[in-house]
Amino acid sequence: MQLDGLQLDGLGYRGKTCVVTGGASGMGEQVARILGELGAKVHIVDIAEPKVPCESYTPLDLSDFDAVRAAAEQLKALAPIHFLFPCAGLPPMVKGPLYCMRVNYVGTRLFVESLEPALADGASIALISSDAAMGWMKNLGQSMQMLAISDPDEAIAWVEADPENRLRDGYTTSKEMLVVWTANAAVKLGLERRIRLNCIGPCPTRTAFMDVQETALPDGFLDKWPYPSLGRMATAEDQAWPLVLLGSPLNAAITGTFLYTDQGFATGVFTGAIDPAFMSGSKL
């Protein structure tokens, strides 16, 4: 790959077809805005109508698996799709842990896999997990069991059979599953079609999502959170840029990666530089 002016122009997005789920608010909205400013043709999929300019809008509730399949079938008309950004997600207090799992992991995976035939060879998929998934490796055995279930209804039934262990708060588990799925699926996608699949792990970020989640946190919790790189809570744009950069073809050697975009929180905890005691009792 030559890093000439044509490659660098628009970070490789100019004139390319991009699909963004969750593009009506938060990080997804900022991803859609940035892509548009880089010259991409942006198509937004969301339960709410987007405010940023886009080529098309497809209404979709990712918890409705039949609707997910129908939306993916409709969007196949855009082929070849060069970039896919699954950004939709929500906390468990909106409609409960099971709905959270349906949207964040099961519905998202179904949407991506259903749209896969319309992706260009060499396409990029970049999605949003969370640093709430920082303990994903300790739960890997159970996560691999769920990963093996490709049918979404069967996956939900498996979770419902033991919700205390398999669902937990819905959010943490679903975000862990996104990390495991990314790491696993990236290999086959890459070997067969040179499609890259990566995800980011944001820290607390000031969005409407966080406004809802904050109501379940102890008073002053987010004030105690360490913010080494920014000195403040991240914004949606702070998180959107790493996702866009990760998806760019300039990062051709990167796939299967879980990139912490959390101001050093996870690695700080891993190495003892950050004491996680302040999180006691929190489900963030």
83-138 tens-digit pLDDT: 999 999 998 888 999 999 999 999 999 999 999 999 999 999 999 999 999 999 99
- Residue 79: CB atoms within 10 Å: 13
CA distances from 20 to 92, 138, 216 (A): 22, 31, 28
Q: What is the pLDDT, as a whole number, of residue 211?
A: 73
Q: 1 with 252: CB under 8 angstroms?
A: yes
What is the pTM for the complete model shown?
A: 0.94
CA distance 135 to 276: 13
pLDDT (tens, 9 = 90+) of the chain, 284 residues, equals 445 555 568 999 999 999 999 999 999 999 999 999 999 999 999 999 999 999 999 999 999 999 999 999 999 999 999 999 999 999 888 899 999 999 999 999 999 999 999 999 999 999 999 999 999 999 999 999 999 999 999 999 999 999 999 999 999 999 999 999 999 999 999 999 999 999 999 998 987 777 777 777 777 788 888 999 999 999 999 999 999 999 999 999 999 999 999 999 999 999 999 998 877 655 54
3 state SS for the chain: CCCCHHHHHHHHCCCCEEEEECCCCHHHHHHHHHHHHCCCEEEEEECCCCCCCCCEEEECCCCCHHHHHHHHHHHHHHCCEEEEEECCCCCCCCCCHHHHHHHHHHHHHHHHHHHHHHEEEEEEEEEECCHHHCCHHHHHHHHHHHHCCCCHHHHHHHHHCCHHHHCCCCHHHHHHHHHHHHHHHHHHHHHHHCCEEEEEEECCEECHHHHHHHCCCCCCHHHHCCCCCCCCCEEHHHHHHHHHHHHCHHHCCCCCCEEEECCCHHHHHHHCCCCHHHHCCCCC
- Residue 222's pLDDT is 82
| Paired tokens of 168 | 């937990």
Q: Token pair 């098309």 is at which residue?
A: 56
pLDDT score, position 3: 53
User: Within 10 Å of residue 44's Cβ, how many Cβ atoms?
Assistant: 30
pLDDT at 212: 72
* Chain segment 227-241, per-residue pLDDT in tens: 999 999 999 999 999
216-232: b (≥16 Cβ within 10 Å) or e: ebeeebbeebbbeeeee
Structure tokens that stand for 239 in this block: 């998180």
Task: Report the pLDDT value the prediction gives residue 1, as an integer from 0 to 100.
Answer: 41
Residue of 205, 147, 135, 204 whose CA lies nearest to 176:
135
Contact between 214 and 222 (Cβ < 8 Å): yes
